Every structure is written in C-alpha cells, then in structure tokens.
C-alpha cells in the first residue's frame, strides 16, 4: 500500500539498522510554512476519504496543508478498479494538472503504474508516490529518469510492533489473528513486525514461553470489494470463533474492530486493533486496545514547502516516530493512540516497551531470525538492513499463514 524535514531524527536506537543517506531518514518536523495562497495540489485516494483508515489519514493530511499554507486541495477518492473501473491514475493526474495542480500526491502502492506514467507525461510537475520506491537509488525499482517523482512512507514497523505488544499483553488465550490485505513486501514486513512485538511482549512481560499462536489471513485487497476479496467481517468472525481473542487489522478499514465491539457487547472477552487512522478506535472504543496510525501531515507539508520555495527534489524518505512525543501532530509521522480496552497494567508495560524501542534497548529486527520456511533471515546478533526489511520475501518463522499469493 501504499505509500521528511528540517530536523534529522538520529535513529541510532532503531529497531533496524538504518541507512539515513540511502533512505532520507529525516524527521517529519517542519518549523515554518511558506505561503501557498493561490497554489493547488492534488490528492488521489485509493478508498473513501471518510474510511476511518488509510485514505482518511491522507485526506486529513491534505486539510493540514491547507490550514498551514493556504493552498487548495483538489481531491478524488475511491480511485481503484472496483469503484472507478473506467478511471486510471494517470488520467486523474492529467485532469488535476489541467485544473492547475502544481503538486500531486498519489497515495497507494496500488497506483504504481499510473503514477509512473503520469510522472513521465508531466516531468515539470512534482509528484509524490506514497509507499513507492522509485526514488530509492539502492532499491529494486529505481527510476533515475523520474526526477519529479519522490517517495514518502512512514516506518509503521514501529507502530505494528507496538500493536503486537498490546495484543500480547491483553490476550487471555494466547491466540492472535492478523487480518491482512493483499500480499506484497510491505504487508509481509508489517505483519512480521506485529508478530515480533507480540512474541517479545508475550515472553518478556507476560513471562510465557514461545507458545504464542499467531495466524494471518489475507483478504486480497486493502479493503473489502464484494465478489473480489474475502469479506473481512467474516474473516474476523472466523478468527474469534477459532479461539483468537485479539485481531490486529492490517486493512484500510475497521471491520475487525466493529466485529470485536459487537462480540464484546455480548460479553465476550475479545478485542481488536485497527490501523492507519488516529481516530479509528471511535468505532468501538471499549473493544479497542489502540491504533497505530500514520500522520502524513508533517511530511507532506515539508514536500509542499519545498515546491513553494522551488527546492523540491525527488527523494526516497522513510520516516519514523518522533520518540520525544510519538503523538505530536506537527513532528511525528507514526503514532500510537491507546484505546479504552487496554488495561492500566498493560498500558504501563506498553509504555516501557515503546521507550525501549526509542532508546534502542529493544531491537527486534536482530537475529537469530528465520523465514517462515525455516531458511535463515538474520544470524545471531545480525541487524537487518533497510533493504532486507523493505523487500521482505516471506513471513517469519512462527507465523501461520500464506507468504505469497501463489
């Protein structure tokens, strides 16, 4: 799916081995804003702008830019083959440029072909493809010719580790379920990050062994498309019926939490963790353990400022939380909003875990780790590189579920 600043976050405490020069690993902090009065920017959303998930997080980032600069957003949502089968991303880019957009945000991994074509057609219009890797010089799909197309993505691996920890701290059955979208490098690394956080907290805070059950079920897309994907409501219910008591969502929408809320209201001890959007817990507050969310505003503001000041460059930026305050709306690209379903004891342990991620005392992408099929991923003491994490080819050993769609 999918798809940083003036102050540099020094990730010496990273949960992975970071390569700041390769990945543009900057803080999303922006201290000043240029005037954008009269400027237009385009925001292309894969889902509804009010989905309480991925697309709404981007839409609200666009509103943040309007508020900070006075620029005007041109937005089109539900740009996907099911909702708009006759509309392609490159056509949307053409239309937005014709309307005067001087910057385009294409906000889904699913938009790859269209945004690459749109960038080729409009080489003088700066564009951002969120979650892509075309601007990563060391990446597999580097396009040096597209000097107008940059990439922005949050290090949600941290947020997913936090979500996994919250799930493990709460579970009474020791059975966790992960409701996944489609299968690709991004979704494998995020699901694996949930598992790493859950396994660590199950053993280190709960004092359990390596007996945590972690199952993954993929629906086939970022959100439900009747007749094309599995129904996430049915998948969530199947998880709970099978003894899972916490479902962690990796899809753009909130079905897992809605189902958990319905069952909790019937006195079942079940919980869920939604994804993407800070306000997602509002769907069923008491069943929600919390939500790891993207805050695209600071990163997008930095991009817009660079365009307004004629200093834009097509960079690959993979930014993380502001560990001084992961919920600071003006500085932190990745956050965690605790839910009402999280107990006080679990919240205290989770805060300790988050602090450990921030200061480096907890470093989860360090070996020994194997892939799901038992082949080595990281040797004992070896830290994963950004490339190894970004292009994760399998789930990890101990996870149950498909690593590929084949």
Q: In this predicted model, what pLDDT tens digit does every residue of 186-245 receive, in sequence order?
A: 999 999 999 999 999 999 999 998 899 999 999 999 999 999 999 999 999 999 999 999
How many Å apart are CA 152 and CA 124, to the nearest integer?
19
Q: How many CB atoms lie within 10 A of CB 88?
A: 17
Give the rounded distance of the alpha carbon of 13 from its chain centre: 20
* Same domain flag for 197 and 305: no
Cβ atoms of 89 and 79 closer than 8 Å:
yes
Q: How many CB atoms lie within 10 A of CB 58?
A: 29
| Shared-domain flag, residues 121 and 228 | no
pLDDT of residue 311: 97
Residue 406, in any domain of the structure: no
381 and 238 in one domain?
A: yes
How confident is the model at residue 17, as a pLDDT? 34
| pLDDT value for 28 | 60
Structure confidence at residue 10 (pLDDT): 28
Cα–Cα distance between 196 and 335 in angstroms, integer? 18
Do 171 and 299 lie in a common domain?
Answer: no
Mean pLDDT (the chain, rounded): 92
pLDDT of 3 > 70? The answer is no
Query: Do 219 and 343 belong to one domain?
Result: yes
Summarize pLDDT for 97-135 with one digit per residue, the tens: 999 999 999 999 999 999 999 999 999 999 999 999 999
Residue whose C-alpha is closest to residue 273's, from 298, 255, 299, 300: 255
- Which ranges in 137-184 belong to alpha helices (H)? 156-170
Tell me the three-class secondary structure of 357-383, residue by residue: HHHCCCCCCEECEEECCCCEEECECCE
| CATH code of the domain in which 199 resides | 3.40.50.2300
| C-alpha–C-alpha distance, residues 336 and 339, integer Å | 9
| pLDDT score of 23 more than 70 | no
Residue 110 lies in a domain: yes
Q: What's the whole-number mean pLDDT along residues 62-87?
A: 96
Question: 165 and 131: one domain?
Answer: no
Q: Is 236 helix (H, G, I), strand (E, B) or coil?
A: helix
Q: Is position 13 within any domain?
A: no
Q: Would residue 15 count as lying in a domain?
A: no
Strand partners, 151: 129, 316
173 within 8 A of 245, measured Cβ to Cβ: yes
Residue 25 has a pLDDT of 47
Contacts of 17 (CB under 8 A, 6+ apart): 365, 383, 384, 385, 386
pLDDT at 21: 32
Helix ranges (DSSP H) in 171-184: none
170 and 270 inside one domain: yes
φ, ψ for residue 225 (rounded to 5)?
A: -125, 105
Calpha distance 16→386 (Å, rounded): 7
Asked whether residue 3 is domain-assigned, the answer is no
Q: How many structural domains are present in the chain?
A: 2
Q: Are 65 and 161 in a shared domain?
A: no
In a domain, 97, yes or no: yes
Beta bridge partners of 337: 291
Confidence of residue 33 (pLDDT cuts 50, 70, 90): confident
Does position 403 have pLDDT exceeding 50, yes or no?
A: yes
Domain end call among 268, 284, 319:
319
Position 34 scores a pLDDT of 81
Cβ 104 vs Cβ 312: under 8 Å: no
Task: Tell whether the model's pLDDT for residue 14 goes beyond 80.
Answer: no
Same domain as 282, residue 162: yes
- Provide the pLDDT confidence category of residue 15 given band limits of 50, 70 and 90: very low
Residues 191 and 305 in one domain: no
Mean pLDDT in residue range 40-57: 95
- Domain boundaries, position 361: 157-293+336-390
Orientation angle between helical segments 297-308 and 54-69, nearest 10 degrees: 40
Is residue 6 in a domain? no
Average pLDDT over every residue of 163-174 = 98
Residue 9 has pLDDT above 90, yes or no: no
Task: Report pLDDT digits (tens) over 342-392.
Answer: 999 999 999 999 999 999 999 999 999 999 999 999 999 999 999 999 999
pLDDT digits (tens, 9 = 90+) for 262-284: 999 999 999 999 999 999 999 99
Q: What is the pLDDT of residue 36?
A: 87
**Res 348: pLDDT:** 98
Say if 328 falls within a structural domain: no
Is the pLDDT at 399 greater than 60? The verdict is yes
- Per-residue confidence band for 295, with pLDDT thresholds at 50, 70 and 90: very high
CA distance 149 to 93: 13
Residues 364 and 245 in one domain: yes
The separation between CA 331 and the C-alpha centre of its own chain, rounded to angstroms, equals 17
Residues 146 and 166 grouped into a single domain: no
């Amino acid at each position: 799916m999918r798809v940083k600043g003036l102050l540099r976050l020094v990730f010496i405490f990273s949960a992975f081995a970071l390569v700041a020069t390769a990945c543009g690993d900057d803080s999303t902090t922006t201290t000043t804003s240029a005037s954008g009065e009269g400027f237009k920017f385009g925001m292309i959303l894969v889902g509804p702008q009010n989905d309480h998930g991925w697309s709404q997080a981007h839409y609200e980032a666009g509103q943040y830019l309007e508020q900070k600069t006075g620029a005007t957003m041109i937005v089109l949502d539900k740009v996907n083959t099911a909702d708009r089968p006759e509309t392609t991303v490159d056509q949307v880019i053409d239309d937005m440029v014709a309307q005067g957009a001087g910057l385009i945000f294409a906000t889904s991994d699913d938009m790859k072909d269209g945004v690459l074509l749109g960038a080729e057609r409009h080489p003088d219009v700066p564009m951002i493809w969120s979650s892509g890797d075309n601007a990563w010089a060391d990446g597999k799909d580097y396009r040096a010719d597209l000097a107008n197309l940059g990439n922005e993505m949050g290090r949600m691996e941290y947020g997913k580790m936090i979500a996994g920890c919250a799930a493990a701290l709460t579970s009474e059955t020791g059975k966790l379920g992960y409701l996944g979208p489609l299968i690709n490098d991004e979704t494998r690394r995020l699901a694996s990050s949930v598992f790493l956080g859950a396994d660590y907290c199950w053993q280190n805070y709960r004092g359990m062994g390596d007996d945590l059950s972690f199952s993954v079920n993929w629906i086939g897309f970022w959100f439900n498309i009747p007749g094309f994907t599995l129904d996430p409501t049915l998948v969530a219910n199947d998880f709970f019926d099978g003894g899972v008591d916490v479902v962690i969502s990796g899809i753009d929408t909130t079905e897992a939490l809605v189902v958990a809320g319905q069952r909790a209201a019937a006195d079942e001890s079940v919980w869920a963790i939604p994804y993407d959007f800070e306000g997602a817990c509002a769907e069923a507050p008491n069943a929600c353990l919390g939500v790891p969310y993207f805050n695209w505003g600071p990163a997008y503001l930095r991009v817009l400022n660079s365009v307004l000041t004629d200093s834009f460059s097509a960079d690959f930026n993979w930014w993380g939380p502001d560990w001084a305050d992961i919920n600071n709306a003006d500085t932190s690209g990745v956050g965690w909003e605790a839910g009402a379903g999280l107990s006080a004891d679990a919240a205290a342990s989770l805060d300790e875990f988050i602090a450990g991620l921030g200061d480096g005392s907890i470093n989860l992408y360090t070996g020994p780790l194997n892939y799901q099929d038992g082949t080595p991923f990281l040797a004992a003491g070896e830290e994963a590189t950004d490339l190894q994490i970004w292009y994760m080819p399998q789930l990890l050993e101990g996870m149950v579920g498909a690593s590929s769609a084949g």
